[in-house]
Structure 1
Amino acid sequence: MSNQIDQLTTNQAGHLEIGGCDTLDLAKEYGTPLVVYDVKSIRDQIHHFQKVFEDNDVDYAVSYASKAFACIAMFQLINQEHGHIDVVSGGELYTAIQAGFPMDHVSFHGNNKSREELEMAVDHQIGVIMLDNFHEIDLLKQVLEERNSHINVMLRVTPGVSAHTHEYDQTGQVDSKFGFDLKSGQARQALDQVLADPRMTMLGIHAHIGSQIFEVKGFEMAATTLVDTLGDWHEEIGYTAKVVNVGGGFGIRYTQADDPIAPEMFVDAIVKAIKKRTHELGLPMPAVWIEPGRSIAGPAGYNLYTVGSRKDVPGIRSYVTVDGGMGDNIRPALYQAKYEAVLAKNPKAPIKETVRVAGKYCESGDILIQKQDLPATQPGDVLAMLATGAYGYAMASNYNRNPRPAVVFVENGHSQVAIKRESFEDLVHLDEPFNLSD
């Protein structure tokens, strides 16, 4: 049994409990598949990050990377804890607006922001736009001139640091679709263009080296590279940055094979590296921003499924199928992400077999867990998949015309719907009848 499973909370009946709520009761009340978020877990992780900065006595922002999971309730929760958010689309920005989130605490990322998205950002005077390429600089100039407006900006740069993670999760290396390259001089050219525009206020630079990273060294190297770059810019043209944004990507535990350090330990190492290098270069200490998403939402999330059919292949394996799958969590099918699951009615029951947990979608690749040790299961049992809070619902689809699940927040024994379950009617409400004539 993994450390993650050992730490699960059970009630007097032996049932898995999340946020003081019995998971069997949640499944009965809201149906399955169901996404459940432990609100206290989210609050606690934000507090852990904040404490690191305060202990190091530096100005900071903990900016939740909302691509991990975004909805109105989530943004309102982040605001309660005095966090910032970063958005990567007009849809995420619109959600933040509808949530009443303070716009000066919003950062806008993305490598192909449209004119309409930039207009929305400028019209609502968001905190900062992260410039990603020269086309975007030109586009933003046009928008600012048309609206006679000003905006804070930062440059996203690629520091040439490759994270030890899945290829799709690496974003800080030179060969990346994101950001201005430092080595070729692109970033300096972008800096000159921004500083020449009186409508843009250049706050600093940003880098994101990847996702699900377990090693501190890459972050320390990236942080040092960013400060060295600022040192060069200060010496060459007198530019002094107010902010160094080191992104996120702090790894979490999904299975027994994962052995991450606490996410806040990454931040402590980053802050100390920036402090050290700015002191060596004689630069003023900038504010340090981070953008954790997975490490805030991931461990707080659970997917509840109901067991349905079973298939035993003699001498090979057994399949246990649940009522969800790649439509609500595509990560296992997309890039072989691994998870653990437990039997909700008794997560610490003796193991009886190893099964493959399959989804209901019409794809052979719809496998949620390749090998899972479980007690004996039967149709109607509830399985809880752990640490599903990041990039599960956020990447959900209506494949096979299946409705997306409900999302429920739980805290102190209370639960509330954060996102309603889709209905069959929802699936067709944008459809139009065929009316072309021959």
Structure 2
Amino acid sequence: MRDEQHEPSVDAAAAAPAVAAPAQAAPEPDGDPRGVWSTSVRRGPDGSLSVGGIDVRELAAEHGTPAYVLDEADLRARARGYADAFAAAFGPEAGMAGADVYYAGKAFLSVAVARWVHEEGLRVDTATGGELAVALRAGVPGEAIGLHGNNKSDAELATALEHGVGRIVVDSLPEIEKVAGAARRLGVRAPVLVRVTTGVHAGGHEFIATAHEDQKFGLSLASGAAAKALEEILARPELELLGLHSHIGSQILDLAGFEVAARAVLGLRADVARRSGHLMPEIDLGGGYGISYTGHDGVPPTPAEIAATLAGAVRRACADLGTPVPRISVEPGRSIVGPSALTLYTVGTVKEVALDDGGRRTYVSVDGGMSDNIRPALYQAEYTAALASRAPAAEVVRSRVVGKHCESGDIVVHNVALPADVADGDLLAVPATGAYGRSMASNYNMVPRPPVLAVRDGRARVLVRRETVEDLLALDEG
């Protein structure tokens, strides 16, 4: 989960200095699963892009823009890749106790996506009652669902227990009694993990590093809060202590931090076993595995590399501690759905402005913006963009893609090389927007949120319909 307590303001993002690095064009689609595009994206002879076998011009004509375009086969392949990699690295043949992969629904969740990932062998991690409802509507069985959250409501806990969720991740000392009380009222035993902050933090941005101590998530290992929580849980017959949970950050490309965090939580597991005789059967090592957003931001690890790294870390730590290896679970979200989608925009106003360094920048305005992708404004997150509807007829120039909102920080792509002839009516594609684009979308300036279109084998269907102005007005009681 992201730690957003230190977000910069949108005004601060707008006031940030211009990117000093030269503008770079988006990499061409090549089917590489480590790239910025989903694996089915192709550029045709006339320069237009297609995804899932459908020309983006057809998608725009039928469904309008902006639109999130989700490559179903790509997403399914990524989900299956995680399931297979962790089954191999943590299976009995490898001398391990097995593994479960939970798709982190916060990245993007719809009924269809929850169904797809479950069909491909994954479980579903939810963080709110709404996400839980979507997973249940998709037919995901309760035992294959987890419930996170730092402030779970009584209603959320009751729903989770009524549907037999496989685990509830306890996030604070007061929550222990809250979960126990809900279990008592329903006459069930609640399976719980304890979220531990280990002091290890990693990731591509300060604002999304989530294992440091001064944050809202989890119980501190260093202060003893985690150990106290475990003692209290073991004393309550309504609670079944399954294990420990650790999450060290987001957009992680270097896996070294996971070994340090794994050793810390496995050490706590061993300490509890020595003191209480209870050896927790499961450890969750979180997620946060990174993806490529621009093609120039590092090579993301593959599921096989991640699984092998974690398996080695767990094996070594348990050998040193003299304890049996536990069952492992992980929670990838962004790395499954992020590269599987692009956002399709229509260009409107294009203008050139002079810069303080004596250069010039072309501002390319599109029909969406921070309401469909808030990450550039929140985190100064970097994306890229490409002309999607035709071949260029001019050299590339330093460009910035901006939205239509009444906000100076309404930036979609900070710095990208686009053809100088980009004009009103052209289509632009921004890749790697499957994670957190629709999930964090808003109605700022009363802009309806875009649809989510699934494409596969030359066909498109609507997963989440476009909002309308009528939808917005229907909520206004006047």
* TM-score of the pair, normalised by structure 2: 0.87
Q: Which amino acid aligns with 2:71?
A: D
Aligned partner of 2:52 in structure 1 is 19
Give 1:198 deviation, angstroms: 1.4
Aligned partner of 2:401 in structure 1 is 357
Q: Which amino acid aligns with 2:125?
A: D
Give the CA RMSD over aligned residues. Answer: 1.7
Give 1:12 deviation, angstroms: 4.4
User: Does 2:220 correspond to 1:181?
Assistant: yes
CA offsets 1:127-175 (integer angstroms, 9 cap, x no match):
1100000111111111111222222110000011021432221111222
Aligned partner of 1:33 in structure 2 is 66
User: Does 2:377 correspond to 1:377?
Assistant: no
User: Does 2:304 correspond to 1:261?
Assistant: no
Task: Please give the alpha-carbon distance, in whole angstroms, between the structure 2 residues aligned to 1:226 and 1:203.
Answer: 13
SS at match of 2:106: helix
Q: Which amino acid aligns with 2:42?
A: T
Task: Please give the alpha-carbon distance, in whole angstroms, between the structure 1 residues aligned to 2:327 and 2:390.
Answer: 47
Name whichever of 13-22 and 66-75 sits farther off: 13-22
User: Does 2:318 correspond to 1:273?
Assistant: no
Task: Please give the alpha-carbon distance, in whole angstroms, between the structure 1 residues aligned to 2:135 and 2:368.
Answer: 28
User: Which of 74, 80, 87 is the aligned partner of 1:47?
Assistant: 80
* Distance 1:77-1:240 versus aligned 2 partners, 3 A rule: same
Task: Please give the alpha-carbon distance, in whole angstroms, between the structure 1 residues aligned to 2:375 and 2:440.
Answer: 8
SS at match of 2:202: coil
Contact 1:252 1:263 in 2 (8 A): no
Aligned partner of 2:28 in structure 1 is 5
* Distance 1:414-1:260 versus aligned 2 partners, 3 A rule: same
Aligned partner of 1:220 in structure 2 is 259
Task: Please give the alpha-carbon distance, in whole angstroms, between the structure 1 residues aligned to 2:310 and 2:393.
Answer: 41
User: Which of 360, 369, 391 is the aligned partner of 2:436?
Assistant: 391
Q: Which amino acid aligns with 1:126?
A: V
Task: Please give the alpha-carbon distance, in whole angstroms, between the structure 2 residues aligned to 1:102 and 1:136.
Answer: 24
Name whichever of 45-54 and 216-225 sits farther off: 45-54
User: Which of 294, 300, 307 is the aligned partner of 2:347?
Assistant: 307
CA offsets 1:74-128 (integer angstroms, 9 cap, x no match):
1111111121111111111111122222111111011111111111111211111
Give 1:379 deviation, angstroms: 0.9
Task: Please give the alpha-carbon distance, in whole angstroms, between the structure 2 residues aligned to 1:147 and 1:343.
Answer: 56
Matches within 5 A, 1:221-260: 221-260=260-299
Aligned partner of 2:18 in structure 1 is none
Give 1:256 deviation, angstroms: 3.1
Q: Which runs of 5+ in 2 are unaligned?
A: 1-23, 31-40
* Distance 1:312-1:90 versus aligned 2 partners, 3 A rule: same
Matches within 5 A, 1:64-213: 64-213=103-252
User: Does 2:457 correspond to 1:432?
Assistant: no
CA offsets 1:259-300 (integer angstroms, 9 cap, x no match):
133242223201210012112322222111110011001101
Give 1:176 deviation, angstroms: 2.2
Name whichever of 266-275 and 64-73 sits farther off: 266-275
Contact 1:406 1:419 in 2 (8 A): yes
Task: Please give the alpha-carbon distance, in whole angstroms, between the structure 2 residues aligned to 1:297 and 1:349.
Answer: 33
Give 1:49 deviation, angstroms: 1.6
Contact 2:83 2:122 in 1 (8 A): no
SS at match of 1:220: helix
Q: Which amino acid aligns with 1:82?
A: G
Task: Please give the alpha-carbon distance, in whole angstroms, between the structure 2 residues aligned to 1:224 and 1:111.
Answer: 24
* Distance 1:395-1:347 versus aligned 2 partners, 3 A rule: farther
Contact 1:33 1:306 in 2 (8 A): yes
* Distance 1:141-1:54 versus aligned 2 partners, 3 A rule: closer
User: Does 2:389 correspond to 1:345?
Assistant: yes
Task: Please give the alpha-carbon distance, in whole angstroms, between the structure 1 residues aligned to 2:307 and 2:176.
Answer: 30
Contact 2:25 2:418 in 1 (8 A): no
SS at match of 1:311: strand
Q: Which runs of 5+ in 1 are unaligned?
A: 434-438
Aligned partner of 2:453 in structure 1 is 408
SS at match of 1:67: coil
User: Does 2:368 correspond to 1:324?
Assistant: yes
Give 1:11 deviation, angstroms: 3.2
* Distance 1:428-1:133 versus aligned 2 partners, 3 A rule: same
Give 1:64 deviation, angstroms: 0.6
Q: Which amino acid aligns with 1:352?
A: V
* Distance 1:72-1:246 versus aligned 2 partners, 3 A rule: same
User: Does 2:420 correspond to 1:420?
Assistant: no
Q: Which amino acid aligns with 1:344?
A: A
Task: Please give the alpha-carbon distance, in whole angstroms, between the structure 1 residues aligned to 2:207 and 2:175.
Answer: 23
Q: Which amino acid aligns with 1:337?
A: A
Contact 1:306 1:323 in 2 (8 A): yes
Name whichever of 108-117 and 312-321 sits farther off: 312-321
Task: Please give the alpha-carbon distance, in whole angstroms, between the structure 2 residues aligned to 1:292 and 1:205.
Answer: 17
* Distance 1:152-1:368 versus aligned 2 partners, 3 A rule: same
* Distance 1:226-1:348 versus aligned 2 partners, 3 A rule: farther
Task: Please give the alpha-carbon distance, in whole angstroms, between the structure 1 residues aligned to 2:392 and 2:261.
Answer: 42
* Distance 1:362-1:2 versus aligned 2 partners, 3 A rule: closer
Task: Please give the alpha-carbon distance, in whole angstroms, between the structure 2 residues aligned to 1:112 and 1:185.
Answer: 21
Contact 1:122 1:144 in 2 (8 A): yes
Contact 1:19 1:413 in 2 (8 A): yes
Contact 1:90 1:117 in 2 (8 A): yes
Contact 1:206 1:245 in 2 (8 A): yes
Task: Please give the alpha-carbon distance, in whole angstroms, between the structure 2 residues aligned to 1:121 and 1:422.
Answer: 29
